[in-house]
Amino acid sequence: MTGAVSEPGALMRAEIAEQPARWRDLIPTQRPAWEAAIDAFRAAAPELVAFVARGSSDHAAIYGQYLVQRVLGLPALLTTPSLHSVLGVTPAYPSGVQVAISQSGRSPDLAATAVALRAAGLPLLSITNDAASGLAGLADVHLDLAAGPELSVAATKSYTAELLAVHTLARGVAGEELSRLADEIDALATRAEGLLDRLEVEVGPIASKLADVERMMLVGRAYSMATAKEGALKLMETSGIAASGWSAADATHGPLGQVDEHTLAIALTGASAGRESVVDFAAAARARGARILEIGPAVIPGSTSIDAAAGVPDELVPVLEILPLQVLAAELAIRRGSDPDRPEGLRKVTLTR
């Protein structure tokens, strides 16, 4: 980070804008590694896929959990790093493979988890944005996110690259050609470029109207659970606002009780699966006085809406629907007097144990 960048949010804005270009590098820059990862996954003949991750990467792993179960028909779980690094316990795993996801690849608890799982017989595929990191070095096969240096504290381009990496891995193991997947990413990147141009115009006025909001609830279903969690994290870390991400099904079992006129409910309706329950929650939240922002095709009457992913298959909706939330997080932080590049009390790399 250099002294030349002084405008609040300049780094985060630049890294948001950079995403489509970085996505296009994911497969072509390391095709042999992708082929090796797919071969290693198949050779393991897994009965289980275990994801190892923290923070934003954990949200990418939530997406991966849905994707692996839907596309490959395999049970998938999110590991609990403290079980290994704090409690010193490793369960008896069935035959499986582990996929470790980390922007930095440097968290000690992730390394400890990966080592424990490999000792339990699970080969390690790691996905990081640093080929020289410890987690990359531990791996049987390492996949580079090819996102380039990410300097803003808030993960943006590394997060969407993680989503696409997990998608490529699952689809590749399922038998789809890497060249076809690269073409699909290229088309998605073109869509994202147009969306980001539109967001430059649309999001600023929305952020100005929402600067006084005291709390936010983000609700989605299935694949969009990852977006609800990640969007809430981006809003919390950049501006300190109280935000939480929920399944629309769970949000009615208690969390709805905190909704009032000072609440913004962000409804993720871009995916068709589960959309009805998200719309129902939004109606219940509005009845309690909440404002509603819909990220989807304007199916909630009277809401402010941003359609980010019209016509995109449900499993790729999270890659696009997070973009307006990234932009909103940056713009809202600035309007609330914060610098989203340097949130108070936070660091880019958190070395949890």
Sheet harboring 291-295: ordered strands across? Answer: 242-247, 215-220, 263-268, 291-295, 304-306
Cα separation, 165 vs 159, in Å, equals 10
**Which pLDDT does position 2 carry in this prediction?**
43
Per-residue DSSP letters for 106-129?
Answer: --HHHHHHHHHHHHTT--EEEEES
Structure confidence at residue 345 (pLDDT)? 61
Tell whether the model's pLDDT for residue 3 goes beyond 80. no
CB count in 10 Å sphere of residue 294: 24
Model confidence over 7-16: pLDDT tens digits? Answer: 888 999 999 9
* CB-CB contact of 263 with 291 (8 Å): yes
> Is pLDDT of 348 > 90?
no
Q: How far is Cα 107 from Cα 134, in angstroms, rounded to an integer?
A: 9
Measured at the CA of 264, the angle between CA 261 and CA 265, to 5 degrees, comes to 115
- pLDDT value, residue 189: 98
Q: Where are the alpha helices (DSSP H) in the chain?
A: 10-23, 31-44, 55-67, 81-85, 108-119, 134-138, 157-173, 178-210, 225-239, 248-251, 275-287, 317-335
Largest CA distance in the chain: 55
24-42: pLDDT as tens digits: 999 999 999 999 999 999 9
Distance, CA of 353 to CA of 342 (rounded, Å): 23
Q: Given this model, what pLDDT does residue 86 score?
A: 80
Closest CA to 340 of 326, 322, 353: 326
Instruction: Please list the residues that pair with 295 across neighbouring strands.
Output: 268, 306
Averaged pLDDT score across all residues of the chain:
92
Q: Of all residues in the chain, what percent carry a pLDDT higher than 90?
A: 80
Instruction: Report d(CA 27, CA 176) in Å as an integer.
Output: 13
Q: Are 84 and 113 in contact (CB under 8 A)?
A: yes
pLDDT in tens, 170-190: 999 999 999 999 999 999 999
Amino acid at 97: V
From the list 285, 270, 151, the residue with the least C-alpha distance to 217 is 285
Q: Whole-structure pTM over 0.85, yes or no?
A: yes
The whole-number pLDDT of residue 350 equals 58
